[in-house]
Copies of this chain bind each other. A is one copy, B any other.
C-alpha cells in the first residue's frame, strides 16, 4: 500500500507540488478553501476532503502551502484546522513563506499537542512547482526534517536543512534580499546601457558570463528588453515577502539599505496599478525617474 500524505492549499504553487507527490506514487489527501481548485488533482487521483482537520485524520504527514502567516495559523490552528485532526506524533510541513517568528509560534503551539513542525518554504516559482525542481529551505529538528525529506524530494531538487524551526523561513528571506537586490543592479545596468547607446540585449550577452552575471540578468534581463513584464513572481507578492524581510531585519538590527530602497520603488509601481506585473518591472521605477525606457521594439 502506498504511503499517504496530506496537502492543504492548492494555489498555483500547491497544485503543482501536490501533483508531483501523486506522480511520485503517494496517495494524496487534499483540501482547498475553494473546492473547485481541488478538481484537477482529484482527476489525477487525489482524494479531496472538506476540512484541514480531515486531512490530518487521514494522514500522519500534512504539507501546507498557503499565503501568509494568518492563513497558516487558520488552516493549522483554527477551527477544523490540521491540529484538530492530527494525532500525537503527526508532522506538519509548512511550505508557505511566512515570518520566522510566526513559524516558531505555530511550532510551539503544535508541540504542546504532540505534533511536530517543519518550515520548508520553497523558491523556483510556478514553473519549479510544476516541474518538481523547487529549492526547499528547511528548518526543524533533525528527525522531523528526515521524516519530511522524501516528500520534499518529490517536489524539489535542492533540499537544504538550515537549522531549527524558523531557519528555513529566514533563508527564504535571505533569498528574497538577493532576488530584489540583484534585480536593482540589473535595472541600473540596463538603463545605463540604453542611455549609453548600446543595444541592451547585446550588452546582456557580453556581460552575462562574467563577474556581473546572475540568474536575474540572464533570465529577466531579456524580458525587460522585450518589455515582457508578465509575472514569474508578482510585485504584490514580492512586497508581501519584503515586508517580512524588513520586519525580520528590524528585529535583528540589520541594515538593508538596498532592500529598503527597492521596497520604496516597488511601492510606487503598486500605486500605479502595476502590482500584478513581474518583479523585474522594478526597472519601470528607475525609468520613471529617468524619463526613458530600456528596450522596446527595434527602432
Contact = CB atoms under 8 A, between A and B. Distances in A.
Contacts of A243: 250
Query: Which residue of A124, A179, A267 has the most chain B CB atoms within 10 A of its CB atom?
Result: A267
Give the dominant DSSP class at A's interface: helix
Interface residues of A, number: 84
B288 A289 contact: yes
Contacts of A181: 181-182, 184-186, 188-189, 258
Interface in A177-207: 177-182, 184-186, 188-193, 195-199, 202-203, 205-207
Contacts of A193: 170-171, 174
Interface in A81-136: 100, 123-125, 135
Interface string A200-225: 00110111011111111101000000
A255 interface: yes
A254 interface: yes
A296 interface: no
A271 B256 CA distance: 14
Contacts of A288: 288-289, 291
Contacts of A206: 135, 137, 158, 160, 162, 171, 175
A211 B232 CA distance: 10
Interface string A245-281: 1001110111111111101110110111000000000
A58 interface: no
A80 interface: no
A175 B207 contact: yes
A178 B212 contact: yes
A185 B258 contact: yes
A173 interface: yes
Contacts of A253: 195, 267-268, 270-272, 290
Contacts of A22: none
A216 B163 CA distance: 24
A195 B272 CA distance: 13
A167 interface: yes
A286 interface: yes
B174 A258 contact: no
A189 to B, nearest CB: 4
A199 B163 contact: yes
Interface of A: 100, 123-125, 135, 137, 158, 160, 162-163, 167, 170-171, 173-182, 184-186, 188-193, 195-199, 202-203, 205-207, 209-217, 219, 232-233, 243, 245, 248-250, 252-261, 263-265, 267-268, 270-272, 285-286, 288-292
